[in-house]
């Protein structure tokens, strides 16, 4: 019989925190564009990995500096930008901030017909010797568009296997039983849903986190601090992940 100490020596628990946040081009519910508030919320999250949506191209209308550069510097995290969308107020798009070492970056095109271009940021990160794959996305406004985009995401997920996979973002799915959510649940299993929109009085779970293996996602909740309620029209959602992997057994002594 193998004693408890020997069993523990054969497994490793990797724990990390992950978050998703639609920052609304850093425009708060008061109509003011204040990237400083968004940076403060991200610091409150204290997450290893933060997926962002609607990161604007400009720090402020009078300043051409990219918001993502500012957020990375203000939080001390590494930044990766995704495909950008066009808006009358400028460009915006997905991004990722990470404490973990970046291994590889892919950018997926999820555009649907003549609708507004959409994409996903697909990144491999070092997880203490294992590989964490994170996909950050922001799906479209119409049901047919979201169904097509989820199909593309699921195809991409099947192409490259990793130790741990996280799918997160603003899925724009207002109905809990919507077909896109059902398809994602079939792949990842059901995950907790926290109400994140609108931030002042959240009623809808638009922002989501899924993880494979499903049992590794220990907790999901919306961050409802007074600052988070003001900084964007979405609340951030934060998850705690604890993944247990079996390590090669040491050669027993003779």
CATH class of 15-244: alpha beta
36-59 tens-digit pLDDT: 999 999 999 999 999 999 998 766
Gap between the Cα atoms of 72 and 78, Å rounded: 6
Categorize the per-residue pLDDT at 61 as very low, low, confident or very high, splitting at 50, 70 and 90: low
Angle value at C-alpha 242, between 240 and 247, nearest 5 degrees: 160
β-pair type (130-138, 164-170): parallel
The residue ranges of every structural domain in the chain are 15-244
pTM: 0.88
Element (H, E) at 113: none
Closest alpha carbon to 207 in 157, 169, 254: 169
DSSP E strands, 110-236: 119-127, 130-138, 164-170, 207-212, 217-222
Contact status, residue 28 vs residue 35, Cβ threshold 8 Å? no
């Amino acid at each position: 019989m193998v004693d408890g100490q020997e069993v523990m020596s054969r497994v490793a628990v990797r724990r990390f925190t992950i978050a998703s946040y639609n920052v609304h081009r850093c425009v708060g519910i008061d109509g003011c564009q204040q990237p400083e508030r968004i940076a403060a919320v991200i610091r409150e999250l204290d997450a290893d990995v933060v997926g962002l949506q609607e990161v604007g191209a400009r720090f402020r209308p009078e300043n051409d500096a990219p918001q993502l550069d500012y957020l990375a510097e203000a939080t001390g995290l590494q930044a990766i930008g995704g495909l950008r969308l066009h808006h009358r107020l400028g460009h915006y798009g997905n991004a990722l901030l990470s404490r973990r070492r970046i291994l590889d970056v892919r950018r997926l095109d999820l555009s649907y017909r003549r609708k507004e271009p959409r994409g996903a940021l697909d990144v491999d990160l070092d997880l203490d010797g294992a590989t964490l794959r994170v996909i950050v996305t922001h799906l479209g406004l119409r049901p047919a568009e979201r169904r097509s985009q989820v199909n593309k995401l699921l195809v991409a997920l099947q192409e490259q296997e990793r130790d741990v996979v996280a799918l997160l973002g603003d899925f724009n799915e207002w109905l809990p039983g919507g077909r896109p959510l059902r398809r994602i649940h079939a792949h990842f299993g059901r995950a907790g849903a926290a109400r994140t929109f609108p931030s002042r009085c959240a009623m809808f779970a638009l922002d989501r986190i899924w993880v494979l293996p499903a049992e590794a996602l220990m907790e999901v909740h919306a961050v409802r601090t007074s600052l988070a309620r003001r900084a964007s029209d979405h609340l951030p959602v934060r998850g705690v992940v604890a993944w247990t992997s079996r390590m090669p057994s040491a050669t027993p002594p003779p």
